[in-house]
Amino acid sequence: MAEAQTRAIYALIRDGKLSDAIGVLQGVLQMSPGSRAALSLLAHCFYHQEEYEAAARTYAGLAHRYRDVPQYQLYWAQSLCKAGLFNEAIRAAAAIEGFPQEVGQLLAAIKYESGDLRGCRAALEAALAAGDPSAGASAGCVLYKEGQYSAAATQFAEAAAAGGGSAELAYALAVCHYRRRDFQASIASLAQIVEAGAQQYPELGIGAQTESQGALSVGNSAKLKQTALVEAFNLRAAIELTMGNPAGAVAALSDMPPRQEHELDPVTLHNRALAGLAHGGPEAAAAALDKLTHLLAHPPFPPELLGNLLSLCCRSTEDSGLGPTAGNGDGTGAIDPKALAEQLLQEHAPLVAAHVPPELLPLYRACLSRSRSAEEAAAQLDAAAGAHVEGLRRGVKTVQEARWAGDQAAAAAGLEAYEQALEAYIPVLMSLAQLHWDAGAYGRVQEVLQQSAEFCSDHPTWRLNLAHALVAQDGGRLGEAEELYESLVQHFAGPSYGHGGDGSNGSGSNGGSLLDVPPSALANLCVCRVVAGQNEVAEELLRRLDDETAAAAAAGQPPTPHLPLTNLAIGTLYCAKGNFEFGIQRVVRSVEPLPGGLDVQRWRGVALCLLCLLDQAAKNMLVLKDGLAADLLGFLEDVEASGAGVSVAGGVCGTEPGGDSDRVGSMQTVAAQARGLRAVLLAMSD
């Protein structure tokens, strides 16, 4: 290669423009097919571009042609390992002359990636005995894969202290904290990665996508990989999704160094689909299903993909308004969620068994059975619940025996295992209760939940759903429900938020907040107190909630549904009792400020209250005051302006066969429904 051309190629590699460098090198090889320099640089670019099979082919040619350069044999074996060709990698590694430390690391990596943890541990012990400084971090990886997250975190911390730390070790430590559900510690480690990346490599454009949609791609450079920024932002998105903050997940993915769509890695594509799903409506569900199916057809993909895809398929089959989605991105037609889920369980059974938690499989199978027969689904869930209960009883016995024997370590381990088993049981129990809830058998829901009281009585999810079942029954057992809702408020926000508590400092004694309480618990607690005549107590709780919501907004935190849902519940209650003037004011506040607060489900509740008001006024059962009518006309006009692009599923009232397509019941956007309601209100006002 000419000197100028060589400098240009090295400049492209230095700047991370590997695709461009590959193109130039392939042109050079057309002119000089046997150029060792060009082949060596091409293999290097393929490897760092993560085109490992191409790198392996190129290094294989170099290794056979230049047997006196053993590095090529080593690089060939490393490329084979990265490509997942483990048997070929072992054979190539066996022929390497010299480099004992590198070969030991490679053999450990091959065994680790192929799932042979015992063989990996043996290779690492030999490496540690030989003084390999990287073996400590590799041992942490083995502990992590074995599920020993605390021990793995300790190993990674020791490796960082011994070697001066790196972005990869900081990320490994963050992942361990995440698996232990210590999200604050994980976020702290991730913040260190992002801060270091921003300071050392400002050219990577952290946050550039958030500030400008036209940010230039930084590509998949070696520099980007060294910083672990992509992994850090993906993990932050996963934490936000786990904590129920999809807006935070979207923000984390947006802050990632900008890349073009075709440059995105499978994990980022996967997390973007999940964040969009959690942040959007039915259209987002269809788009997420499309993206996840595309990833399934183009491995490699994250191991979490299969479980998330099954969950999404089951969610779609339970939604009567969502049939097969629009295209799948490959031009092969629509996706039938039910058929896809059955295909996953049958045709990808080994992958599902390897990557989907076994306790979730009965849930997926019951979900598919439910579309055929609710009785069949109930029988499957009953059987699964029985197996879980037996396991829980064994867990209780194990803990008791360890305590009687005075073995505190065994008791602690048994208690941790019991808590994990309980968390696995809760979804099965709630799915069984959901079947009865959907059938309107609220008393049966109560019975099913109370049968597991010996295990679940302290679990927030169990208390929340039992309270809902008590409220939903005819006559409403509101006193018992109020006690359960209040216990949830104290659990999440602190004892000071209990009945008659002070709570004036805006947070509970445990540092919690009303915004940490499940929104439905807070809303229904206020309803229970109003029905019980405790209006002042309910008003005080609403005032605190209003203050905390305003404080969170002032601090730049994303909005939460707590205050809107509580306003909607209180307003609906007052409308049902005939106090429309106060009730309508509350329900209107549930979708403010517009347009950000215009949620389809809340709008449906607002529209139903407005229809009840108009119905009562049309029957001369109440007098619609001019001031209220004027306020509602202004509100509906604002909703019409804000809701043009917001679709609704099925409308808020029935469509008359053969009726005018402009009637309220047939309108498929919030704007159209608001316009129809405003027209009726204007006609009545005249």
DSSP 291-331: HHHHHHHSS---THHHHHHHHHHHHHHH-TT--SEEE-SSS
If one compares 427 and 646, the residue with the highest pLDDT of the two is 427
Distances (CA, A) of 364 to 22, 55, 334, 339, 352: 45, 40, 21, 13, 11
Our separate counts of H helices and E strands in the chain read 35, 2
What pLDDT does 469 receive? 95
What pLDDT does 102 receive? 87
CA gap 486, 522 in Å, rounded:
8
Please state the length of the chain: 686
Q: At what angle do helices 266-279 and 246-255 cross, to 10 degrees?
A: 140
CA gap 215, 524 in Å, rounded:
46
Categorize the per-residue pLDDT at 212 as very low, low, confident or very high, splitting at 50, 70 and 90: low
What pLDDT does 498 receive? 58
Share of the chain above pLDDT 70, in %: 89
Q: Which letter does DSSP use for residue 669 in this model?
A: B
Backbone angles phi, psi at 581, to 5 degrees: -60, -45
Q: Map 25-36 to HEC letters.
A: HHHHHHHCCCCH
What pLDDT does 281 receive? 57
pLDDT at 282 over 80: no
What pLDDT does 269 receive? 92
Q: At what angle do helices 580-589 and 562-576 cross, to 10 degrees?
A: 160
CA gap 230, 265 in Å, rounded:
9
Q: Measured between alpha carbons, how far apart are the two ends of the chain, in Å?
A: 88
How many C-beta atoms lie closer than 10 Å to residue 675's C-beta?
Answer: 19
Rounded to an integer, the average pLDDT of 651-667 is 42
Rounded to an integer, the average pLDDT of 245-273 is 89
CA gap 67, 462 in Å, rounded:
67
Cβ 386 vs Cβ 353: under 8 Å: no
What pLDDT does 169 receive? 93
Instruction: Pick from 276-280, 342-346, 603-607, 682-686 the range whose average pLDDT is largest.
Output: 603-607
SS3 state at 647? strand
What pLDDT does 566 receive? 94
Backbone angles phi, psi at 326, to 5 degrees: -65, -160
Categorize the per-residue pLDDT at 332 as very low, low, confident or very high, splitting at 50, 70 and 90: very low
What pLDDT does 548 receive? 93
Q: At what angle do helices 478-493 and 519-531 cross, to 10 degrees?
A: 140
* Alpha-carbon Rg for the chain in angstroms: 30
pLDDT at 333 over 50: no
Backbone angles phi, psi at 148, to 5 degrees: -90, 75
Cβ 671 vs Cβ 643: under 8 Å: yes
Structure tokens at 647: 């679709």
What average pLDDT does the structure give for the chain? 85
Structure tokens at 507: 């947070």
CA gap 526, 566 in Å, rounded:
7
pLDDT at 537 over 60: yes
587: exposed, middle or buried (Cβ count in 10 Å: 0-12, 13-18, 19+): buried
315: exposed, middle or buried (Cβ count in 10 Å: 0-12, 13-18, 19+): middle
**Token pair 């097969």 is at which residue?**
324
pLDDT at 569 over 80: yes
Among 486-490, 581-585, 660-664, the minimum mean pLDDT is found in 660-664
Write out pLDDT tens, residues 465-484: 999 999 999 877 899 999 99
187: exposed, middle or buried (Cβ count in 10 Å: 0-12, 13-18, 19+): middle
Cβ 309 vs Cβ 293: under 8 Å: yes
pLDDT at 417 over 80: yes
CA gap 348, 343 in Å, rounded:
7
What pLDDT does 652 receive? 39
Q: Which letter does DSSP use for residue 230 in this model?
A: H
DSSP H helical ranges for 515-657: 519-531, 535-554, 562-576, 580-589, 600-618, 626-642
Residues 6+ apart with CB under 8 A from 333: 327
Nearest of 430, 277, 420, 308 to residue 366 by alpha carbon = 430
Q: Map 464-511 to HEC letters.
A: HHHHHHHHHCCCCCHHHHHHHHHHHHHHHHCHHHCCCCCCCCCCCCCC
Categorize the per-residue pLDDT at 312 as very low, low, confident or very high, splitting at 50, 70 and 90: confident
If one compares 186 and 359, the residue with the highest pLDDT of the two is 186
Distances (CA, A) of 38 to 6, 15, 31, 118, 156: 9, 18, 11, 40, 38
The string over 324-349, giving b where at least 16 C-beta atoms fall within 10 Å of a residue's C-beta and e elsewhere, is bbeebeeeeeebbbbebbeebbeebe
99: exposed, middle or buried (Cβ count in 10 Å: 0-12, 13-18, 19+): middle
SS3 state at 555? coil
pLDDT at 331 over 50: no
pLDDT at 656 over 50: no
**Amino acid identity of 1?**
M
SS3 state at 457? coil
Write out pLDDT tens, residues 78-137: 999 998 899 999 999 999 988 888 888 888 889 888 888 888 888 888 777 766 767 778
**Token pair 């202004």 is at which residue?**
634
Beta bridge partners of 334: 327
CA gap 514, 356 in Å, rounded:
34
CA gap 145, 298 in Å, rounded:
25
Write out pLDDT tens, residues 148-166: 899 999 999 988 888 767 8
If one compares 281 and 194, the residue with the highest pLDDT of the two is 194
If one compares 574 and 505, the residue with the highest pLDDT of the two is 574
Q: Map 92-121 to HEC letters.
A: HHHCCCCCHHHHHHHHHHHHHHCCCHHHHH
CA gap 621, 347 in Å, rounded:
62
Cβ 361 vs Cβ 352: under 8 Å: yes
CA gap 545, 569 in Å, rounded:
14
Structure tokens at 551: 């404080």
How many C-beta atoms lie closer than 10 Å to residue 119's C-beta?
Answer: 15
Beta bridge partners of 325: 335
What pLDDT does 138 receive? 87
Write out pLDDT tens, residues 349-394: 888 888 888 888 888 888 888 878 889 999 999 999 999 999 999 9
What pLDDT does 299 receive? 78
pLDDT at 500 over 80: no
Share of the chain above pLDDT 90, in %: 48
Q: Map 363-429 to HEC letters.
A: HHHHHHHHCCCHHHHHHHHHHHHHHHHHHHHHHHHHHHHHHHCCCHHHHHHHHHHHHHHHHHHHHHH
pLDDT at 13 over 90: no
